[in-house]
Amino acid sequence: MSGNVNGHIELSATDRLIISRLQGDVPIAPDPYQLIADDLGISLEHLLERLAWFKDQGILKRLAAIPRHQNIGFTANAMVVWNVPDEDAARVGKLFAAEAYVSHCYQRSALPGFPYSVYTMIHARSEAECIALAQGLSQLTGVFDYQLLFSVKEFKKSSMRYY
């Protein structure tokens, strides 16, 4: 049985198998779902029905290509952190979120000696472009206390395996 019980989504053993399979690589082939269904020993119809349900429930955002952004020209990325009063966070966050080059935007708690509470990830073709984009965001929102934290080294970037 699967269903939504008390706000908690209940997954069947088959659901978990499907999720586990989709965390790995999906075949790039004319009939990828048939290949996965065969792998799992279920019918194509059943697989497509479960995937549609996962999407409905918000469990599965999409089955998609994740580009390595450095390989498609986005070689610079910066985490830009903004000092925003709590009561202004929603306005600022929405303005940031509307920009295509902002991939992530969150409000978080501040750290000792680090008063920044709105976090954005921005992606560009150079560090200079990141700096210019951040200046634009600053002017757009009127938030002038901010810092760019460039990624100096990527130690790990992977996708979570839930099951």
Cα-only R_g, the chain: 20
Least distance in angstroms from the C-beta of 143 to another protein:
14
Q: Is residue 6 at the binding interface for another protein, with CB under 8 A as the rule?
A: no
Instruction: In angstroms, give the least distance from the CB of 88 to another protein.
Output: 12
In this complex, which beta carbon is closest to another protein, that of residue 41 or of residue 156? 156
CB of 134 to another protein, least distance (A): 13
Binding to another protein by residue 128, rule CB under 8 A? no
- Residue from 2, 14, 19, 138 that binds another protein (CB under 8 A)? 19
Q: Residue 63: which residues within 8 A CB-CB, separation 6 or more?
A: 22, 26, 51
Rounded CA-CA distance 10/4 in Å is 6
DSSP 26-57: PP-SS-HHHHHHHHHT--HHHHHHHHHHHHHH
Give me the amino acid identity at 29: A
132 binds another protein (CB under 8 A): no
Contacts of another protein in 24-83 (CB under 8 A): 24-26, 28-34, 44, 48, 51-52, 55, 57-72, 74, 79
Shortest approach of another protein to residue 47 CB, angstroms? 9
How far, in Å, CA of 148 to CA of 151, rounded? Answer: 10
Looking at the DSSP bridge assignments, the partners of residue 86 are none
Which C-beta is closer to another protein: that of 123 or that of 133? 123
